[in-house]
């Protein structure tokens, strides 16, 4: 979200992030932003002088309890499903001109929309005019079919239209990652040179002038990129990979190779899914746990490949062990999707 805001031209001043690995990543890539590595429940004031422009508060409260893959906890009884109230408390504390609330599509369906109605009602009680949409990242230049909810609140009575899609044709996986180096299962070398020149406009964008430093765009012309780490899958896992065609999943794996599953028919359709190279990716979530397979190599995705499919530019580096890096990438809002939302706010605010 922060990167998307910066790419839209917003001067991001403060970040609150409880996860130590994510806050370290954000601080490294945004040295000009004040980062509070704290639980938002322990924030009682915001010491942030105004720079004279409109104030925007944006964030995404924990969403695991609203995920469609987490049916057991999609209820009012899950305490984590109420953390959105902490976000709304900060809204009350700071009184921003604009509020941007992001979450998974499942929050609209959980308890028949109970949580979404509460959020909109609370914002209205604080004086905000709200607009909300579910956006598909693939329609905004991201090589991934990922649906996310955005609720926008305006203190100045502005209802804004849904951002217009940014591309006519979706970006494919091949267009997104084919210039990245070939890697073995368990690859552990961080930096590697590119395989060849950018094969697409999207790849050029990821390797080019996307860097924002103190409000200025900086050319990234490095001959290499970082994050070429791949989980070291066991030999029996790799043998399963070899049976899965592009677009296929665990159902393509012979039953004799799946005997450790008590009932293989209960596997989720996203398990052992091999990406299609001629289409956008499926959701990049916990791609290590799901054993998401590279489209033309028998291995999992590297961290850098996953960041490309999320629309993080190549200069953006993730910190922590490979597992923590994978988690951060999977949890993130695609920057190009967030950029489109913030551009719509800027356009509405200037009218």
From CA 219, how far away is CA 34, in angstroms rounded? Answer: 24
Predicted confidence band of residue 299 (pLDDT cuts 50, 70, 90): very high
Mean pLDDT of 126-153: 97
Angle, in degrees to the nearest 10, between helices 114-125 and 84-94:
10
From CA 56, how far away is CA 349, in angstroms rounded? Answer: 11
Mean pLDDT of 173-186: 97
Map 97-162 to HEC letters.
Answer: CEEEEEEECHHHHHHHHHHHHHHHHHHHHCCCEEEEEEEEHHHHCCCECCEEEEEEEECCCCCCCC
On the question of pLDDT at 107 being above 50, the answer is: yes
- Residue 269, pLDDT score: 79
Mean pLDDT of 303-321: 96
- Helix and strand totals (H; E) in the chain: 11, 10
On the question of pLDDT at 75 being above 60, the answer is: no
Mean pLDDT over all residues of the chain?
89
Which of 257, 267, 265 lies closest to 234, judged by CA?
A: 257
- Residue 72, pLDDT score: 52
- Residue 49, pLDDT score: 66
Which of 196, 213, 290, 198 lies closest to 28, judged by CA?
A: 213
Matching residue, tokens 């951002």: 163
Residue 149 forms beta bridges with which residues?
103, 134
From CA 153, how far away is CA 344, in angstroms rounded? Answer: 13
Per-residue pLDDT tens over the stretch 205-218: 999 755 555 455 55
On the question of pLDDT at 73 being above 60, the answer is: no
Residue 36 contacts residue 16 (beta carbons within 8 Å): yes
On the question of pLDDT at 77 being above 70, the answer is: no
Residue 323 contacts residue 288 (beta carbons within 8 Å): yes
On the question of pLDDT at 275 being above 90, the answer is: yes
Residue 135 forms beta bridges with which residues?
148
Question: For residues 163 and 212, which has the higher predicted lDDT (pLDDT)?
Answer: 163
List of E strands, the chain = 14-16, 34-36, 56-59, 98-104, 129-136, 147-154, 192-193, 211-213, 216-218, 224-225
On the question of pLDDT at 50 being above 70, the answer is: no
Q: Supply φ then ψ for residue 37, to 5 degrees.
A: -85, 70
- Residue 51, pLDDT score: 67
Question: For residues 45 and 185, which has the higher predicted lDDT (pLDDT)?
Answer: 185
Mean pLDDT of 108-122: 86
Angle, in degrees to the nearest 10, between helices 322-331 and 20-29:
80
Angle, in degrees to the nearest 10, between helices 303-310 and 322-331:
10
Predicted confidence band of residue 78 (pLDDT cuts 50, 70, 90): low
- Residue 74, pLDDT score: 46
On the question of pLDDT at 70 being above 60, the answer is: no
- Residue 148, pLDDT score: 95
Per-residue pLDDT tens over the stretch 327-338: 999 999 999 999
On the question of pLDDT at 300 being above 80, the answer is: yes
> Over the Cα atoms of the chain, what is R_g?
21
Q: Measure the CA angle with vertex 336, ends 334 and 342; round to 5°.
A: 105
On the question of pLDDT at 194 being above 70, the answer is: yes
């Amino acid at each position: 979200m922060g990167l998307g805001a910066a790419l839209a031209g917003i001067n991001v001043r403060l970040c609150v992030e409880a996860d130590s690995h994510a806050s370290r990543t954000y601080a490294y890539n945004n040295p000009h932003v004040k980062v509070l590595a704290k639980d938002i429940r322990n924030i009682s004031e915001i010491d942030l002088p105004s720079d004279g422009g409109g104030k925007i508060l944006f964030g995404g409260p924990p969403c695991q309890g609203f995920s469609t893959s987490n049916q057991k906890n999609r209820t009012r009884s899950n305490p984590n499903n109420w953390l959105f109230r902490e976000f709304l408390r900060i809204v009350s504390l700071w009184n921003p001109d604009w509020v941007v609330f992001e979450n998974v599509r499942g929050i609209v369906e959980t308890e028949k929309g109970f949580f979404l109605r509460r959020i909109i009602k609370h914002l209205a009680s604080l004086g905000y005019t709200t607009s909300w949409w579910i956006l598909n990242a693939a329609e905004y230049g991201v090589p991934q079919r990922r649906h996310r909810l955005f609720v926008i609140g305006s203190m100045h009575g502005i209802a804004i239209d849904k951002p217009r899609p940014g591309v006519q044709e979706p970006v494919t996986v091949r267009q997104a990652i084919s210039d990245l180096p070939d890697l073995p299962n368990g690859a552990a070398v961080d930096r590697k040179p590119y395989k060849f020149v950018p094969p697409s406009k999207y790849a050029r964008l990821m390797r080019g002038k996307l860097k924002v430093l103190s409000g200025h765009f900086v050319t990234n012309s490095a001959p290499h990129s970082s994050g070429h780490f791949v989980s070291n899958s066991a030999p029996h896992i790799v043998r399963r990979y070899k049976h899965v065609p592009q677009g296929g999943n665990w159902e393509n794996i012979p039953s004799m190779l799946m005997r450790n599953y008590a009932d293989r028919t209960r596997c989720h359709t996203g398990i052992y899914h091999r990406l299609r190279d001629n289409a956008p990716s499926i959701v990049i979530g916990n791609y290590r746990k799901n054993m998401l397979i590279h489209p033309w190599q028998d291995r999992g995705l590297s961290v850098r490949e996953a960041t490309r499919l999320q629309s993080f530019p190549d200069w953006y580096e993730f910190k922590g062990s490979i597992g923590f890096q994978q988690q951060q990438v999977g949890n993130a809002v695609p920057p190009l999707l967030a950029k489109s939302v913030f551009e719509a706010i800027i356009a509405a605010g200037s009218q």
